[in-house]
Amino acid sequence: MMDLEKQKWGPLSVIPGMNRGRYPYCHSIYIEDAGVVIDPASDRKRLEDLKAQKDIQMVWLSHWHEDHLMHLDLFENLPIWMSEHDAPPLADIDVFLDWYNIIDKNERAYWSAELKEKFHFRPRKPTRLLRNGECIDFKNLSVEVIHTPGHTPGHLAFFFKEPQILFLGDYDLTPFGPWYGDRYSSIEQTIDSINLLKNIPARIWITCHETGVFEEDPQQFFDDYLAVIQSREDKLLDLLNHPRSMQEIIGAWILYGRKREPVEFYEFGERLHMQKHIERLMAKGTVKFENGKYLRIS
């Protein structure tokens, strides 16, 4: 496995996330000349050391999810730059839960505690809104902002022009596949954004989770990542050859493969994604809802 700690391209480097950057952690990016930390959820001790040793000027967020802002509290007095489309949940924990479509009282209590205790959630508002297509110039480095909705409505990727490095954020090219389960997520936008990123002429690709850095063209990884979406939908359609309630659909564990603990976390993720696919299939006229159950009709 590549040693992410040794990866450096001019002023740009990766701060490896704990446990290979798997949830609830992610790999962070550090732009030394500009004092920018992107997605501070990698490793609290490393980020504390960085803050003590370097002149950190600001934090950028690729999007609003908790596994990308876990240690944002370390930089509470610094400006935050992010997309305006993802700013609302950062300012209010109830909005945060609403954007995840968490309605059940017990699930809201579970997630509220998780966000405050594990993810150090503190209400914040961005200082500057990053917009699609703008180019930010630092000493020896220019960064193009790329709006890539689908995962979240304001998800951003960043193209570092001089070294031709593309930061994909949470389009992480992992075997698990894309996440598009939030209230304002979109399967169609996810597909469009992945295809957009796939065709940007980069030399190196950085993601927030697991492998982290791709130094060879990851076109097959992009293709496999996209194929997960269709695989999930095909499994759901097979299941719906017979009428199924939403709870029966969740119990098939199409997303996660098997029942996992804690149930509050995994059933939540399973339900969100299956609802997105159901909505998509009903809009196509492929599935109908009748007598409390869903059934494939074409």
What's 250's domain CATH number? 1.10.10
β-pair partners for 169: 207
Last residue of a domain, which of 223, 253, 274? 223
* pLDDT at position 44 over 70: yes
* pLDDT at position 183 over 70: yes
Task: List, for residues 252-289, the tens digit of each pLDDT value.
Answer: 999 999 999 988 889 999 999 999 999 999 999 999 99
Q: Residue 78 maps to which CATH number?
A: 3.60.15.10
Buried b (16+ CB within 10 A) or exposed e, 151-169: bbbbbbbbbbeeeebbbbb
Same domain for 156 and 106, yes or no, is yes
Residue 233 domain-assigned? no
Same domain for 166 and 289, yes or no, is no
Give 46's Cβ-side CA count (13 Å radius): 18
Residue 231 domain-assigned? no
- pLDDT classification of 6: cutoffs 50, 70, 90: low
How does the average pLDDT of the chain come out, rounded?
96
Residue 20 domain-assigned? yes
Give pLDDT, residue 262.
Answer: 87
Same domain for 219 and 96, yes or no, is yes
Where do the H-state alpha helices sit in 144-214? 187-198
Same domain for 104 and 248, yes or no, is no
Give pLDDT, residue 1.
Answer: 43
* pLDDT at position 137 over 50: yes
How many structural domains comprise the chain?
2
Residue 95 domain-assigned? yes
Average pLDDT over residues 13-18: 96
Pairing of strands 58-60, 36-38: parallel
* pLDDT at position 3 over 70: no
Average pLDDT over residues 193-220: 96
Give pLDDT, residue 132.
Answer: 98
Residue 144 domain-assigned? yes
Residue 232 domain-assigned? no
Domain extent at residue 283: 240-296
pTM of the complete model beyond 0.75: yes
Residue 261 domain-assigned? yes
The C-alpha atoms of residue 104 and residue 235 are separated, in whole angstroms, by: 27
Same domain for 172 and 287, yes or no, is no
Number of continuous H segments (helices) and E segments (strands) in the chain = 8, 15
Same domain for 261 and 159, yes or no, is no
Last residue of a domain, which of 159, 189, 223? 223
Tell whether omega for the bond before 262 is within 30 degrees of 0, i.e. cis: yes
Residue 230 domain-assigned? no
